[in-house]
Amino acid sequence: MKRTGLLLLILSFTVLIVQAQRDIISINRKLSPVLLNNRRLFTDKKEQVFWIVTSNIDSARNYIRTKQLPVTILQEHAGGLLVVSARGSLLDSFVLNQPFVRFVDVPRVPHEELAVGTFDNSLNTINLVHSQYPLLNGVNMVASVKENKPDTTDIDYKARYISTPLSSGLIASHASYMCTIIAGGENSFYTGNGVAPAASLISSNFATLLPDGDNVYKQYGISVQNHSYGTGIENYYGADAAAYDASMINNPGLLHVFSSGNSGNLVSNGPYAGISNMANLTGSFKMAKNIITVGATDSFGNVAFLSSRGPACDGRIKPELIAFGEDGTSGAAAHTSGTVLLLQEYYKEKHNGALPAASLIKSVLINSADDRGTKGPDYQSGYGCLNAYQALQALVKEQYFTGSALPNFTQTFTINVPANARQVKVTLCWTDPAAVANAPKALVNDLDLELVDNNLQVWQPWVLSPAPVIDSLLKQAVRKKDDLNTVEQITIDNPISGTYTIRVNGTSITSGANQPFSIAWQTDTANQFQWQFPTAVDYAQSDADNLLRWSSTFSANTGLLEYSLDKGASWQTIEKTIALSPGNVYWHVPDTCSIAQLRMTINGQVFMSDTFTISPVLPVHVGFNCPDSAMLYWDRIPGITTYRVFRLGQKYLEPISTSSDTSIIIRQPGNNLWYTVAPMVTPNRSGMKAYTINYQMQGVDCYLKNFLVDLDNGNTGELMAEIGTTLHVQRITFEKLVNGSYAPLQSFQPVTTLYFNHTDKNLKDGVNTYRVKIELNNGMVIYSNPESIYYFLTTRYLIYPNPVKVTGYLSVLTKEEPQNTYLILYNTLGQQVLQYRMQQTIEMVPLYGLKSGVYFVMIKKNGKKEFTSKIMVQ
């Protein structure tokens, strides 16, 4: 019972923490890039106009009314879009966290599909894989994301999300973010480009911290499951850790990938109690042996300050890898999960559809990682930073072995090390049987790795000190027998050339007759250079700082870095003596839209980059949104004469037309809602696509974009209108409802601007109603929805509409907050048919199915008659 209570406490704590993290992320994901970059808009005390996309307008309206929030709904549009006037601070405090709020923006910045903000596929060379292996995209692979449910309407994985009973009932933007990193299709923007953009996705609820059933993984073909969540710091090998180890034993091709946690600055507990900044993985399930636990780095490969560190509770090396994740370790895990899919896909193509053993993929990932921080493995960065391209090369070059260890039996394998090698690296990995929950040492079957050179010198793996003392935990690894880890790694710097022998000994196999294992190996040769960013599939954003990346094994310290915008006819110097060892440098890219190329000269050797594209971000706007057509327009880019328009197809963006103009009219768009535009840098090469927009969600109707009316100085009406485009517009007219019909107030012709204003100084007592009339050259006339100003001159109450439909509501406005005030209706016989207590300055009075006819209205306050009128009910 005590154990059950503890697990329930841990589970409750988990849900609270993850819920809080999700709420923070969800609010940020609801905001447009403009609002994210201008949070001051939420602290400004003056009222502003916001666009709020809701899942249900009624829910939003009722919430605002019930809470009596000073939020004025100015317009309502199809698709749940509200145009409101409010203080940003009020929205921030009371509205953004409501479940019906899907997206918040400010006018004229229409980015409905938020792109991933901290996007970088180059640190972990994922972009290099995309460039060199364009057909490797995760097709026919399935990843499961275990947490809350993603937004299944997200266009970045359109038609690739598989609905199952496994998913949570709660939708969270954090889950959408993870899905986008793993398998985004780049439909929203280039930052929506996932690691495996053709993979399918499944969601699994993390309300239980245990793995899904074995039948689930088999039924849906799941080969990797991403776990970007945590609980608190839990330093023990729990039942959940054992369950995940067993899950991988039962499903040999399945790999579980966990984030290490975002508690790297906290003090540890358990065996490492009192030690700061170490042993703070967030969840006992992360103590599993067979999984991969991933820490986070910044764009330079440095371990993030908040990334949780190892060791595991029994001293094992954790995390095994680090990867880019400025959002935290969640993103780092997702990058790794996507990379696993690509490696599994490549292996399957070469092995008649058979999945590789998880131990093989794990060994390849760890062996190819770039060493960071302290030389060799350590408890901050594990075995190094994810390098997707090098991991794939191990499979391409078949630099791996598989085998099965027998008790007290040694197996051998041979590799050849070239003469110019700077390092040889070998990694052994096996999927170990689950240990008993809460075991002080999780290892069950102990294998030992050795490497023997030509001179019969024996090299042992790197081993860290697990002693619970900070000085010990920070020590550099030493070579010795490893009796803790299921991963063992040997490196030799500047090895002598020749044939080397790998030995794997089944030192202690206590579970089963044998123990399957995998080995990955590689050699790094001297005087090699490779561009990592930009590649042919990358964009460098113009007039902005872009981080160039490369890898180099030259002993030289510096090189000459140049760029060309004319296919190599001339070269401009970026830096004459660029330091090679960091592997990166910021370059402020020229303000142009062009193809380009880089070159690095080292000791007279020239290394050319791929031809890549320099491109600005191109905003796309909606000119009009009419039933039969819609107009898109964009800014002209100097030097660009052609633009390509894309539409979201069944799964991905598809080109639909090419235009030499900066606008296009889409005829009969139907259900095709999402569009974007890219400049054509060459006839066959496009620049960066604009943010993809849903043309119906930009606050633009049929030509009319905004129509606002307001009472100014208590006695003057201010009318403001905005149209989306002047194309084909002949005349704009403000009209006012007078004696049952609309009369013109002011006309504008010719139409040369998008913005129009009029002041009405002749307000009548009561309701003043206006509309905008748009006349086109072809004779078509478009009217706005009517908007009203309520002017209290001689009366304290306004009642409308009159006549009112029997199924409708009677609106009652009062100049002052009503107290003990009732609205009473009488029929023509003098019988009371309705009594309604007024509690707000604006009331919507239901008529409860009254019969058609004339009714007399009386308003009483504190028992005294204050107002009388009559209405017609139809």
* Percent of the residues in the chain that have a pLDDT greater than 90, as a whole number: 68
Q: Which fold has domain 797-873?
A: Immunoglobulin-like (2.60.40)
Give the model's pLDDT for residue 15: 39
What are the tokens at 473? Answer: 């935990």
**pLDDT of 627 higher than 90:** no
* Residues 40, 43, 47, 49, Cα dihedral to 10°: 40
Per-residue CA distances from 434 to 249, 348, 406 (Å)? 8, 27, 18
Which pLDDT band, with edges at 50, 70 and 90, does 541 fall under?
Answer: very high
Judged on CB neighbours under 10 Å (0-12, 13-18, 19+), 557 is: exposed
Return the H-helix or E-strand segment holding 7.
Answer: helix 2-30
Dihedral (Cα; 146, 147, 151, 152), 10-degree rounding = 30
DSSP strand pairing (572-579 vs 558-564): antiparallel
508-537 pLDDT, tens digit per residue, is 999 878 999 999 999 999 999 999 999 999
Cα 362 from Cα 347, distance rounded (Å): 13
For residue 535, the model assigns a pLDDT of: 96
- Can you read off the two tokens belonging to residue 827? 């029929």
Task: Count the alpha carbons within 13 Å of 111 in the hemisphere toward its beta carbon.
Answer: 22
pLDDT value of position 801: 85
Q: What is the pLDDT of residue 5?
A: 47
Per-residue pLDDT averaged across 10-35, rounded?
A: 47
Q: What is the SS3 assignment for 70-93?
A: CCEEEEEECCCEEEEEEEHHHHHH
Q: Using CA atoms, how far apart are residues 434 and 238, in angstroms rounded to an integer?
A: 11
Q: Which CATH superfamily is domain 2-105 in?
A: Peptidase S8 propeptide/proteinase inhibitor I9 (3.30.70.80)
The pLDDT value given to residue 500 = 97
- In one-letter notation, the amino acid at residue 138 is G
Helix or strand holding residue 802 (H, E) = none
User: Is pLDDT above 80 for 29?
Assistant: no
Please give the DSSP secondary-structure letter assigned to residue 670. Answer: T
**Cα separation of 575 and 238, whole Å?**
54
**765-779 burial code (b ≥16 CB/10 A, e <16):** ebbbbbbbbbbbeee
Strand partners, 479: 462
- Segment 787-798, tens digit of pLDDT: 988 888 778 888
Q: Read off the tokens for 188.
A: 């929203």
- Give, to the nearest 10 degrees, the angle between helix 329-350 and helix 388-396: 20
pLDDT digits (tens, 9 = 90+) for 558-598: 999 999 999 999 999 999 999 999 999 999 999 999 999 99
Q: Which residues of 683-699 are buried (b: 16+ CB within 10 A; e: fewer)?
A: eeebbbbbbbbbbbbbb
Mean pLDDT in residue range 143-171: 94
Asked whether 458 and 451 are in contact (CB, 8 A), the reply is yes
- Structure confidence at residue 37 (pLDDT): 62
The three state secondary structure string of 245-296 is HHHHHHCCCCEEEEECCCCCCCECCHHHCCCECCCCCCCHHHHCCCCEEEEE
Which residue bears the tokens 């003098």?
830
Residue of 799, 813, 816, 789 lying closest to 855 (CA atoms): 799
**What is the distance between the alpha carbons of residues 156 and 184, in angstroms, rounded to a whole number?**
5
CATH number of the structural domain 704-791 = 2.60.40.10
Task: For 661-715, list the strands marked E by DSSP.
Answer: 663-667, 674-682, 685-686, 693-694, 704-712
Contact present, 313 and 241 (Cβ < 8 Å): no
Higher-pLDDT residue of 643 and 556 is 643
pLDDT digits (tens, 9 = 90+) for 416-425: 999 999 999 9
Q: What is the pLDDT of residues 319-352, one digit of tens each?
A: 999 999 877 899 999 999 999 999 999 999 999 9
| pLDDT tens digits, one per residue of 716-735 | 999 999 999 998 899 999 99
Q: How does pLDDT run across 30-76, given as a tens digit for each residue?
A: 675 446 666 677 777 778 777 676 778 788 888 888 888 888 888 67
How far is residue 113's CA from residue 389's CA, in Å, rounded to a whole number? Answer: 30
Q: Which amino acid is at 407?
A: P
Helix, strand, coil percentages for the chain (3-state, nearest 5): 20, 40, 45
Determine the pLDDT at residue 41.
72
| Residue in 163, 135, 347 with CA at minimum distance from that of residue 252 | 347
Given the DSSP bridges, would you call strands 693-694 and 674-682 parallel, antiparallel or unpaired? antiparallel
- Residues 829 and 285: their CA atoms lie apart, in Å, by 76
Please indicate whether residue 430 or residue 100 has the higher confidence score (pLDDT): 430
Beta-bridge mates of residue 608: 599
Q: Considering only 294-303, 371-380, 842-851, which range has the smallest mean pLDDT?
A: 842-851
Mean pLDDT of the region 600-606: 95
Q: If you average pLDDT over residues 220-236, what whole number do you get?
A: 92
* Position 439 pLDDT exceeds 90: no
Q: What mean pLDDT do residues 450-454 have?
A: 95
pLDDT bin (cut points 50, 70, 90) of residue 81 is: low
The single residue listed with the structure tokens 């993103």 is: 331
Do residues 167 and 204 touch, judged by C-beta distance below 8 A? yes
* CB of 325 closer than 8 Å to CB of 257: no
For residue 325, give the nearest of 293, 347, 351, 357 by alpha carbon. Answer: 293
* Two tokens, residue 650: 């069944």
- On the question of pLDDT at 457 being above 50, the answer is yes
Establish whether the linkage from the previous residue to 311 is cis, with ω within 30° of 0: yes
Cβ neighbours of residue 200 closer than 8 Å, sequence gap 6 or more? 141, 142, 143, 160, 161, 162, 183
Q: How does the average pLDDT of the chain come out, rounded? A: 89
In angstroms, the CA 823 to CA 355 distance is 74
CA dist 286 and 242 (Å) reads: 10
Nearest to 534 by CA among 655, 688, 391, 684: 688
Quick one: pLDDT at residue 172?
86
Q: Which residue has the higher pLDDT, 799 or 653?
A: 653
Q: Per-residue pLDDT for 10 more than 60?
A: no
Cβ neighbours for 682, distance < 8 A, ≥ 6 positions apart: 595
Domain boundaries, the chain: 2-105, 126-525, 529-614, 617-697, 704-791, 797-873
> ω into residue 534 within 30 of 0, thus cis?
yes
Cα angle for residues 298, 299, 305 (degrees, 5° grid): 10
Taking the C-alpha atoms of residue 105 and residue 754, their distance in angstroms, rounded to an integer, is 20
Mean pLDDT value of segment 656-681: 91
pLDDT on residue 108: 31
Chain centre to alpha carbon of residue 56 = 23
Q: Which residues contact 646 (CB under 8 A, 6 or more apart)?
A: 653, 654, 655, 656, 675, 676, 677, 678, 689, 692
> What is the distance between the alpha carbons of residues 22 and 4, in angstroms, rounded to a whole number?
27
Q: How many CB atoms lie within 10 A of CB 253?
A: 21
Q: What is the spatial distance between Cα 49 and Cα 62, in angstroms, rounded to a whole number? A: 20
Query: Which residues partner with 83 through β-bridges?
Result: 51, 75
Q: Is the pLDDT of residue 14 over 60?
A: no
Domain 617-697 falls under CATH 2.60.120.380? no
pLDDT category, 106, cuts 50, 70, 90? Answer: low
Tell me: cis bond preceding 679? Omega within 30 of 0 counts.
no
Give kind and range of the element (H or E) at residue 753.
Answer: none
Q: How many residues are present in the chain?
A: 874
For residue 792, the model assigns a pLDDT of 82
Options 3.40.50.300, 2.60.120.1060, 3.40.80.10, 3.40.50.200; which CATH number does 126-525 get?
Answer: 3.40.50.200
State residue 32's pLDDT score. 56
Q: What percentage of the chain carries pLDDT values higher than 70? A: 93
CATH of domain 529-614: 2.60.40.10
Q: Do the first three CATH levels of 126-525 and 704-791 match, i.e. the same topology?
A: no
DSSP string of 601-647, one letter each residue: EETTEEEEPPPEEEE----EEEEEE-SSEEEEEEPPPTT---EEEEE
- DSSP 3-state of 702: coil
Residue 265 or 18, more confident = 265
Q: What is the CA radius of gyration of the chain?
A: 33
Query: What is the reported pLDDT for 12?
Result: 44
